[in-house]
Structure 1
Amino acid sequence: MTSGLSVLLLAAVFGCAPLVLVARTLVSGAARARHHEVGSAVFLQLGAIYAVLLAFIFNEVYGEYVVAEQSINKECAALHATAMLGDTLPEPARTGVENAITQYVRAVIHQEWPAMTENHASRTAMDAEQRMFRTVASLSGADPSVSSLRSTMLDELAQAHASRETRLFEMTLDVPPLIWVLLLCFSAVLVTLLLMANVERFWPQTVLTATFVGAVAFLLVVIRLLDSPFTGPLGLQPTDFHRTLERVTSLQPPA
């Protein structure tokens, strides 16, 4: 994936030389000079609009990426808190709660995370989550403290469920295709204006155009990667769930 993106960026940059050559062949220097003043004004106006649009979209996409990352952290924190509370229960309730949490975390790591790369949830993880809720909800005992712990653990599991729903929502949230069309059209128009610029020599114009194309292509690629928070080189990994699994497993008594 990373090599493919590098090739794409290099192609965008080095593809500018033939474009500049074609533009200089089709449009004479005199014609470019006559329209340079108007073209420069149009480029500045469209460039300002494009910069604002690009900054807004980048900010929104990065914000959603951070939300997805935070939802993972909150879900794991709630699961760990539930396990620590369950560790204070008498047997066999203690082992039952910890096993239910362990099964859910493993289902998320091994079944749901690969499924999320294809933009869908795992039925196995969903079933494990339901069993985890049922295990805690079915706790009972003569000790009033058990009822209090059960209520607190259910609150923590509700928080974990809300964070999981946020994680799955961010998985499906994409930049609308119309926005991508708008960005690409703006980019094409601005590059065309650069190709028509009244630059006397070939290589300075090529370097100028390649720098602009490379910067824009890089930003668009980053936006695309952030737009898919669970796939690609920037995809979020289940590191927090692995850490939570280790912490919950460490609470369990030796077999």
Structure 2
Amino acid sequence: MLTLTQNIVILIVTMTCSMLFLALLNRVWPRERRTVHNDLIGWQLGILGTTYAVILGFMLYTVWTNFGEANINTDLEANAVRNIYQLAEGLPTPQRILLEQQARAYVDAVINEDWPEMHNSRLPEESNLINRDMWKTLMSVKAASPSELLAEDHALSELSALTEHRRTRLIQSAYRLPTIFWGVLLAGGLVTILSASLFGSANRALHALQVFCFTLLITLVLLAIADVNLPFRGWVHVSNFAFQRAKQNMNN
């Protein structure tokens, strides 16, 4: 989990190291002597660049898709608890009062407990206990009229969806790219930048600018993957806005 400051520091360090390596390479192996190898280096850079671009694009698409799914799942969970609160109106008085209280408590637990816990890489438990109590409340309903029976049936359906979405949210909060994928990304980025630095260019300033831009782009994409890969923990993360809205609607 990286903060905005840490992202900026990593970016600055990476760019500095890249420029220092290029300067050192020009002293140890002058660019005039590398020019004769440009055909081989250019072919190697083209293959490496294309392969690494495909890997980067695939990884970025994967983590962004997972981030979008986590965002949608959060909205669906918030909608489910709000629907339960509204359906409680059709239940007998004891269960109606209790279920409304539990729905409010669930939203408060998600906002005040779940999000901070997930942000700190821990699995929350408070909302799970409330979810169990909601099941007990609904299973204790003794419907005496068709309207109460219909409300109970719909409430059970929404509670089932709520439970499923909560479990999915916890799985998504714990998911991260496997270490081997990060190894491929980092090694591929390093090799690609080194290959770009080896190219023998007659214009030193233009070559330095090209390596600088190349390193900047790769580092930014890697930082984006690292942030989006943690949908509830990164600098860019899924907001609890849906539950804030649900809480506001319940209070109204």
State the TM-score bracket (shorter-chain normalisation): over 0.9
Secondary structure of 1:92's aligned partner: helix
243, 246, 249: which one aligns with 1:247? 249
4, 7, 18: which one aligns with 1:5? 7
Structure 1: any 5+ residue segments left out of the alignment?
Answer: 251-255
How well do the aligned residues superpose, as a CA RMSD in angstroms? 1.4
Find the aligned partners of 2:235 and 2:83 in 1 and give their Cα distance.
31
Instruction: Tell me if structure 2 keeps the 8 A contact 1:100–1:135.
Output: no
Find the aligned partners of 1:81 and 1:147 in 2 and give their Cα distance.
16
Instruction: Tell me if structure 2 keeps the 8 A contact 1:20–1:205.
Output: no
Instruction: Tell me if structure 1 keeps the 8 A contact 2:121–2:233.
Output: no
Question: How many residues of Structure 1 are paired with residues of Structure 2 in the alignment?
Answer: 250
Q: Which runs of 4 or more aligned residues in structure 1 lie more than 6 Å from their structure 2 counterparts after TM superposition?
A: none
Aligned to 2:99: 97
210, 229, 232: which one aligns with 1:230? 232
Give the 5 Å matches for 1:1-255. 1-250=3-252
Deviation at 1:245, TM superposition (A): 1.4
Instruction: Tell me if structure 1 keeps the 8 A contact 2:92–2:141.
Output: no
Secondary structure of 2:90's aligned partner: coil
Deviates more, 1:133-142 or 1:206-215: 133-142
Instruction: Tell me if structure 1 keeps the 8 A contact 2:32–2:202.
Output: no
The letter of the residue matching 1:182 is V
Secondary structure of 1:35's aligned partner: helix
Matched-pair identity in %: 22
Instruction: Tell me if structure 2 keeps the 8 A contact 1:195–1:209.
Output: yes
Deviation at 1:193, TM superposition (A): 1.0
Instruction: Tell me if structure 2 keeps the 8 A contact 1:29–1:198.
Output: yes
Find the aligned partners of 2:150 and 2:19 in 1 and give their Cα distance.
72
Find the aligned partners of 1:238 and 1:25 in 2 and give their Cα distance.
54
The letter of the residue matching 1:87 is E
Instruction: Tell me if structure 2 keeps the 8 A contact 1:13–1:214.
Output: yes
The letter of the residue matching 1:79 is V
Deviation at 1:178, TM superposition (A): 0.5
Instruction: Tell me if structure 2 keeps the 8 A contact 1:141–1:147.
Output: yes
TM-score of the aligned structures, taking structure 2 as reference length: 0.94
Find the aligned partners of 2:231 and 2:206 in 1 and give their Cα distance.
38
Find the aligned partners of 2:234 and 2:59 in 1 and give their Cα distance.
19
Deviation at 1:128, TM superposition (A): 0.8
TM-score of the aligned structures, taking structure 1 as reference length: 0.93
